[in-house]
Amino acid sequence: MTIQTPDWVKHAVFYQIFPDRFARSERSRQSYINNANLEDWEAPPTHQGYKGGDFWGILEKLDYLQDLGITAIYFTPIFQSASNHRYHTHDYYQIDPILGGNDAFRAFLDAAHEKNLKVVLDGVFNHSSRGFFYFNDVLENGPNSPWLNWFRIIGWPLSPYDDTLPANYDAWAGVRSLPVFNHDHPDVQEYIMQIAEYWLKFGIDGWRLDVPSDIKTPGFWQQFRQRVKAVNPDAYIVGEIWDDASQWLDGTQFDGVMNYLFNEAAIAFAVGDRTVLKHVQSRNYFPYPTINAVGYADKIDKLLKLYDWQIQLTQLNLLGSHDTTRIITIADGDQKSVELCTLLLLTFPGAPSIYYGDEVGLPGEIDPDCRRVFPVESAWNQDIYQTHKQLIALRHKYIALRVGNYQTIHAEASVYVLTRTWENQELIIAINVGEEAATADIDGSKLQNQPDKLLFGKGAVKWDDQKHLHLAIPARTGLILG
């Protein structure tokens, strides 16, 4: 079977937005939200407080995103919910009123598409919430509810709030506010498929799937793909899988997953022993222990052999998300670590995804702290911002960085060197994670070109008559040759 994935994703640079925290517009708020009990915008975020970010505010930031080089946005959930992160869905057909409702999303989506920005939504289809109408009916009417079999009821009475009593229904991770759907029920399957179709017809460009591995019903994700692609063959389907995702990346289910395996390797190599372990040990990924260039090459080689190349090109590669400590905080504030990781991210096969604020050095520990509001410009780390802008621009300029062949050509101690090649376009990317300047002598006889123009970074470059490349790379930096 020839695996097909959406071409636009292979050329995309994603930006992940947590809608409550990115931007708040004062001009368009409906009167009954103007006086809402919102947290102060600049105050530290809390588990239950709302900041009031909205789609009108995000719309006003589209020029910023376009200037940065972003071509696609992934939103964490936006449907009506009783939580600031909105993973507790009340109504899958209504955009949360605090975000501006369906009208604000319509205006935003149209404006985004006018700027050629794609929009991917978070599909929370494993579980709903206590406020979800169908589950609420079960709470009100017990065994008489018409929706009884939509959920996995264990016994009676149900206890949705009192944790001194058994919940008596299946809830995600035991969290009572997240009742799990009974996906074996054909009506539940049809309900979820119709939600997916509805928003694709509304105009969205794809779905990111929350905890899809928890849905065990045979054929569910195959049917999901068929229904989604029937509406829009170019729609992107990306799953939240933190480890080897081979069973979902066979061409019949997802186009890619959130690539935490790349994240682990990049942090273990480029951040190395600066990694603050308390910030990473509470999540299901392992950007530790420290690895050298040989270890990084080995991890990347294994990762690139896991999936079909068409799948590799539509992986969603990331350095952080709403579920992880911010990259600069993991690195104990070390700016060079962030820049090195960003160089690895923007030159790797697959779609890079930047978690809002990472491009300006926004810090934050594990949630809710990693969900701070987007900072004012005076608080930006301009060096990190310029690094992102330069690397994103190079990725857009050189097709080899997007879909070109990837090959490790040198890995020794602190220095890792790779090539990205597309037809006669060849780029060399070299990175030195060490504390001291380093050199690398590379046999370039198998390369089709001898790129020597410094497109990014600093260092000395020399080719000799025997087609050997001699690189001198300053400490904790990287470069791109073209």
Return d(Cα 126, Cα 115) in angstroms, integer: 33
Q: Encoding tokens for residue 16?
A: 């992940």
Q: Write the secondary structure of 175-191 as one string of H (helix), E (strand) and C (coil).
A: CCCCEEECCCCHHHHHH
Q: What angle do CA 409, 413, 416 make, to 5 degrees?
A: 30
> Which residue out of 205, 240, 358, 426 is catalytically annotated?
240
Burial of 466 (0-12, 13-18, 19+ CB in 10 A): exposed
- To the nearest 10 degrees (0 to 180), the angle between helices 220-231 and 186-202 is 30
43-59 per-residue burial string, b: 16 or more CB within 10 A, e: under 16: eebeeebbbbbbbbbbb
Beta strands in 283-424 (DSSP E): 316-318, 351-355, 405-412, 415-422
Query: Helix, strand, coil % (nearest 5) of the chain?
Result: 35, 20, 45
Confirm if 326 and 341 have CB atoms less than 8 A apart. Answer: no
CB burial class (10 A; 0-12, 13-18, 19+) of residue 366? Answer: middle
Q: Which entry of 20, 96, 205, 210 is annotated as an active-site residue?
A: 210
List the one residue out of 296, 371, 295, 300 whose CA is nearest residue 329.
Answer: 371
Q: Does residue 436 carry a catalytic annotation? A: no
Residue 90: HSE in the Cβ half-sphere, 13 Å Cα cutoff: 13
240 as an active site residue: the answer is: yes
Q: Give the span between the Cα atoms of 103 and 84, in whole angstroms.
A: 20
What is the set of active-site residues? 210, 240
